[in-house]
Structure 1
Amino acid sequence: LYRDWVVAALNADVPYDRFLELQLAADQMPGIEPTDIAALGFLGLSPSYWKELKLDPAVIKAVVAEEWEERIQMLSGTVLGLTVACARCHDHKQDPIGQDDYYALAGILASTRVTPRSLLPERDAQVAAHIRDELDSLARQRDELKKQQPQTVDLERQVDELAARIAAVERATPQLSAPVAYALEDASLLVLPDGPDRTKLEFRPGEAQNVAMQIRGNPSNVGPLVERRFLRVLSPNGGPQVFQRGSGRRELAQSFVTAAAPLTARVIVNRVWRQHFGRGLVETPSNFGSSGSLPTHPELLDDLAARFIANGWSLKWLHRELLLSATFRQSSGANPAALAIDPDNQLLWRMPRRRLDVEAWRDAMLVATDRLRPELGGADRSLDDSNNFRRTLYGNVKRRELSALLRLHDFPDPTQHTSHRDVTTTPLQQLFVLNSPQMLDMAQALAARVTREAASDVPRQVEHAWSLMFGRAPSDRERAQAVAFLQSGENGASPEALWPALAQALLGSNEFAYLD
């Protein structure tokens, strides 16, 4: 649901400032659509750790503190390009971020609870919640009756009656089948003792709390309480205002795009630039601090960020501005004179060659084989499913068990914030192209399409294959080699029988995997 919401929001060009606010505080914003609750999956789907309540409260407090750190790192790195989590144990060593800043943000998270929520209008959601409580009560009664021994005819009759009542209520309440999102609500989490070496977790809905600084990051050694607020260094001259509305999630989101607007805009502009050019104007997209890289073109970054805000935080405007620029439309061909001056292309004298991300690579194969299903939304499916022809965006991602396709092709670690993907070239990637069932199936499909659409004319088939794969005609040498291979009659094979081998070679080629 969160993925579908993000796709819909980007397609609708929801302004980036509102895009952020919805993801942090959609439940606190007036006039939203029920489906906007899915936006809260930004935090609602963040990793959470198992809390074994048979352990001492000190252990559980440490687990909760680890969750705060992960979420603060994700929030500050994604939105502000700052490493605020480095201030958990002490003031930041490089940037003007105090330990009190860290715990001011931690208080917001300590006052927020992840909770399932139906994507229904409020009144219908309340009805569904009431009915669900009633069904839970009936189910408990049924289960208790099943446990009684010996089982008599009368007990079996009562069990059947309860089962029938449950089924009748479910049929009469269509709201129960509405999708449920991982949402947020304001609720303080208290970690309390529950006897010797035992713990209980108590949520207090509607309450917010400030948390104490933890000396050297130790939850068992606390200092003074820190009020919930924004980072001091990014606040106006009067200093940060204490957050007063509930947990402070909405005030935090508003601070991102008001007090910190120049930085927030630079960070997202740099991320979009990196997506199109393969390298950001700042090469450390989640670290704009002193330990990060300096921008290669600071005036350009400033100009784009200022005009991005002036154009209503429109991401579509930003994409259009970059894609229609002379810089983007350059050739990627080499210029010996420029290469001698700037071999790393820091000054952008040519368009950088860049490899497709694994999602785009798989989608391109589905397009070439004429099997891509382009519809939007819906449930995810396994990428190992040979009948899954949807965009890779809708592939199932298991945090601890990635599919071979993703694991081998530089997919980022889904358990933590990742600022960028490291591009690797390994023997296992080529072995995947040679031996994986997915690639063999893609090759068969491409061969079938080429022979179907270009009849039995082998030279025409080769022309058609190059057009589908590379958007160009084959060179004379490529044409001659491909035709010779297909007409070689190796082991008595016909051209149709040899086409899958050639198709597999084309799918695994560098030209198909790179934007040039």
Structure 2
Amino acid sequence: MKQKTILITILSILFGMLYAFKKGVFVAPKDEYAVLKLPEIVDYNFHIKPILSDNCYTCHGPDANKRKAGLRLDLEETAFSELPESLGEFPIVSKAPHNSKAYLAIVSDDPDVLMPPPNSNLALNTYEKRLIKKWIEQGAKFEKHWAYIPPKKNKPPRTEKTDWAENEIDAFVLQVLEANNLSPSARASEETLIRRISLDLTGLPPSPTQVQQLLADDSKENISKIIDAFLGSSAYGERMTQSWLDVARYADSHGYQDDSYRTMWPWRDWVIHAFNSNLPYDQFLTWQLAGDLLPNATKEQVLATGFNRNHPITQEGGVIQEEYRTNYVLDRTNTLGKGILGITLECAQCHDHKYDAISQRNYFEFFAFFNQVNEKGLQLDAVQAKNQKFFADPPYIEISKEESDDVLSFINMKKTPEIKVMVMNDSAPKTTYILNRGEYDQPTDSVQPATPEAIFPFSEKLPKNRLGLAQWLTDTKNPLTARVHVNRIWAMLFGKGLVETSEDFGVQGSLPTHPKLLDWLAVDFMEHGWDTKYLLKKIMLSATYQQKSELRPDLKKVDPDNKLLARAERFRMSGEMIRDYILATSGLLNPEIGGPSVKPYQPAGLWEETNAGGNRGVLTKYIPDEGDDLYRRSLYTLWKRTLPPPNMTIFDAPTRDFSEVRRQKTNTPLQALVLQNDVQILEAARVMAQRMIMEKPNNTDLVTDVFKRILIRAPKKKELLILDSYYQDALKLYKNNTEDAQKLIAVGDYEQLDTDVAKTAALMLTAQAIYNLDETITKE
């Protein structure tokens, strides 16, 4: 009966609204889009193109198979051309919206005329319609895609607030905030900034000694000194290398089914050295792409080209040589596109790119740069090699222990007398063909090495090889290279780039939230010699970077995703950083730089479950290392492509089968399970507890000291009450159950220290609880 009454009430309301509507007395909700202020100049790239892309390109875009009425709106010449089905009429007429059939269809009240059609479930709001009208009135100017226009260093804008900005970056950010009636956040505390800067530049938390020293200096230049201190740390190179390994698809195994071992870690040692030496980014790229082609190339420059040999290589019998050799060249081409140029080159492998101005011919002209290496799809002696651990597919270089003591002193050879490392060597001139549908066995027209005119023409003065390609990439007129690198650095510091799709600056990628700032940073970076340390310091000295991360109520409503940068960002650290953070704060971290990859703790049996290649090679059974190698930085953890380190993949690390610029961000129960049960974390909590008790047996502030060591700051009163109560309850429990306490602290291979068992167990659990806090694993 009650349900029937509710139904009658609802129907009465609906019939009442219908009657009022028919009588003309029903007042529709206010159209909020009708009152939004239009920009003074309507920009095609940032105002019009996104509207057309989202609402019109499905039927009137680049896909000829889906195009309707013969109308294409993504190209200027067709948008202004006479309609094939309506002679004498035009989609767009410059400065005449009411003569423009496309605009008239957009604003029509007739459902048979309205575009997009009602059944498409797409619709333009009033603001978007007004934008298009004003754009046409201003001449309907089409522009080249924004990312293909060389960046300009615009003068930082003037803002109403004059006492906040620390440098030019802030002026651009503040202009956007003021346009949205928002104010920036207050500056974060010194402790927060020290931790933030340390994590960003070294991937590690600051030590208690570092914090004390840095807090003791209250001068205005203190932050600058803090940044310099961490930039000068050898851990800086390791931090930067960690991100580059994803781009370079680095792994310690070949991939594919057999997934046998490869020796590429000397190239990783070079990357660490290059970052710590602050090798300018243009040289950093040139050496990796074409170090072997430089005049009088050094062995270090040749070693750098290992970047191009990090791709998967099959070791399986029965493969077609040319098919897999072609796959390797495709991989190098796609890595260049995604990792360095920020464009989806791979979309043009089988046909012309549907959205970006990249043809299939363009793709194979890029392909031609990497197609001159004397390599095979399968190197048979790799399968037959008894000691796969030190095998390398040709071409390769040999590095001796003597060289590592001299000209290649950055390579940590340990006890290895000699190593072979795969590199590039253009020793097999080949004619490159456009492959029909991208198939290796369907060559069509031949092509020469070249680059897309739409991005930046390839100069006739440049050599048509990888060195010429590197020079093209690092030309200051190239619109992409500096922008993409600057954006990736911004994403490293802020959690996401000014262009959120760091891997895609194309038409389907995200638009920059602060385009003028991105361009200013890109030009400024090039003007300062492609100096990455300079770029990092510039950003970190800005008031934008130094803000608090608190989500204010006004920001939660207007800008919950923090696209306008009115606060600092909060985001979970990578799996590698979380593990390193825990090792560092516990005192377990082995600071050794470089060398062969190591095998820390891993659940037993995983490799055996995924091994499909029989019992050949050294990667069929996982045997953890011993001693200090268990506590190396995660950068050095052995990376098997078919089964990467599980405690890192759970935190979204990629497989490294291909280049990855932007990791996924997930939040799953497995991540909590790792933090609660991983042997490495439990052992770290145990070792920290034992050491702190050993240092001060009668210390009554153990909980406070553990908290400060892990989180850098002192606990708040309420936090301390909760944690101290937890510690006291655990202590009471284990005093009466020493056998359980002994079982708990027995975790891990690190030596046991002679401390009170119950006290150790209680403090270990307290440390583990703090390691599990969101604040611990979050960079903010």
- The normalised TM-score by structure 1 is 0.80
Tell me, in whole angstroms, the C-alpha distance in 2 between the residues paired with 1:495 and 1:250. Answer: 63
**Does residue 542 of structure 2 align to residue 325 of structure 1?**
yes
- Which sits farther off after the overlay, 342-351 or 419-428? 419-428
Tell me, in whole angstroms, the C-alpha distance in 1 between the residues paired with 2:479 and 2:775. Answer: 39
Q: Greater strand percent: which structure?
A: 1
How much has 1:49 moved relative to structure 2? 3.2
Which residue type is aligned with residue 291 of structure 1? Q
SS at match of 1:312: coil
- Which sits farther off after the overlay, 223-232 or 281-290? 223-232
- Which sits farther off after the overlay, 282-291 or 421-430? 421-430
SS at match of 1:184: coil
**Does residue 451 of structure 2 align to residue 209 of structure 1?**
no
SS at match of 1:255: helix
1:155-166 correspondence to structure 2 within 5 Å: none
1:455-474 correspondence to structure 2 within 5 Å: 455-458=697-700, 460-474=701-715
1:252-401 correspondence to structure 2 within 5 Å: 252-258=469-475, 261-384=478-601, 385=624, 387=627, 388-401=630-643
Tell me, in whole angstroms, the C-alpha distance in 1 between the residues paired with 2:466 and 2:586. Answer: 46
1:496-507 correspondence to structure 2 within 5 Å: 496-507=760-771
**Closer, same or farther in 2 for the Cα pair 1:185/1:483, shift >3 Å?**
same
2:365 aligned residue: 104
Tell me, in whole angstroms, the C-alpha distance in 1 between the residues paired with 2:446 and 2:575. Answer: 46
- Which sits farther off after the overlay, 431-440 or 295-304? 431-440
SS at match of 1:233: coil
Which residue type is aligned with residue 500 of structure 1? M
1:41-440 correspondence to structure 2 within 5 Å: 41-50=306-315, 52=317, 54=318, 59-113=320-374, 114-119=394-399, 177-188=417-428, 208-236=429-457, 241=460, 244=463, 248-258=465-475, 261-384=478-601, 385=624, 387=627, 388-440=630-682
Aligned residues of 1:228 and 1:242 also touching (Cα < 8 A): no
Aligned residues of 2:289 and 2:470 also touching (Cα < 8 A): yes
Tell me, in whole angstroms, the C-alpha distance in 1 between the residues paired with 2:559 and 2:440. Answer: 50
- Which sits farther off after the overlay, 470-479 or 64-73? 64-73
Tell me, in whole angstroms, the C-alpha distance in 2 between the residues paired with 1:413 and 1:482. Answer: 38
What is the aligned-residue identity percentage?
Answer: 32
Aligned residues of 1:454 and 1:464 also touching (Cα < 8 A): no
**Does residue 777 of structure 2 align to residue 513 of structure 1?**
yes
Q: 1:483 aligns with which of 709, 724, 732?
A: 724
The one-character-per-residue Cα deviations of 1:296-331 (angstroms, maximum 9, x if unpaired) are: 000000000000000000001111111111111000
How much has 1:110 moved relative to structure 2? 1.9
Aligned residues of 1:282 and 1:294 also touching (Cα < 8 A): yes
Aligned length: 437
Which residue type is aligned with residue 426 of structure 1? T
Tell me, in whole angstroms, the C-alpha distance in 2 between the residues paired with 1:111 and 1:32. Answer: 18
1:24 aligned residue: 289
Mark the structure with the bigger radius of gyration: 2
Aligned residues of 1:232 and 1:240 also touching (Cα < 8 A): no
Tell me, in whole angstroms, the C-alpha distance in 1 between the residues paired with 2:525 and 2:468. Answer: 22
Aligned residues of 1:26 and 1:39 also touching (Cα < 8 A): yes
Tell me, in whole angstroms, the C-alpha distance in 2 between the residues paired with 1:179 and 1:35. Answer: 14
What's the RMSD between the two structures over aligned residues?
Answer: 2.4
**Closer, same or farther in 2 for the Cα pair 1:105/1:422, shift >3 Å?**
same
Aligned residues of 2:456 and 2:479 also touching (Cα < 8 A): no
How much has 1:68 moved relative to structure 2? 2.5
SS at match of 2:425: strand
Which residue type is aligned with residue 289 of structure 1? G
Tell me, in whole angstroms, the C-alpha distance in 1 between the residues paired with 2:456 and 2:682. Answer: 57
How much has 1:260 moved relative to structure 2? 5.7
The one-character-per-residue Cα deviations of 1:161-181 (angstroms, maximum 9, x if unpaired) are: xxxxxxxxxxxxxxx934332
How much has 1:31 moved relative to structure 2? 4.7
Tell me, in whole angstroms, the C-alpha distance in 2 between the residues paired with 1:427 and 1:230. Answer: 46
How much has 1:7 moved relative to structure 2? 0.7
Aligned residues of 2:342 and 2:503 also touching (Cα < 8 A): yes
Aligned residues of 1:277 and 1:352 also touching (Cα < 8 A): yes
How much has 1:89 moved relative to structure 2? 1.3
Runs of 4+ in 1 over 6 A off after TM superposition: none
How much has 1:244 moved relative to structure 2? 4.6
How much has 1:51 moved relative to structure 2? 6.7
**Does residue 303 of structure 2 align to residue 12 of structure 1?**
no
**Closer, same or farther in 2 for the Cα pair 1:257/1:244, shift >3 Å?**
closer
**Structure 2 gaps, min length 5:** 1-265, 375-393, 405-415, 602-623, 737-757
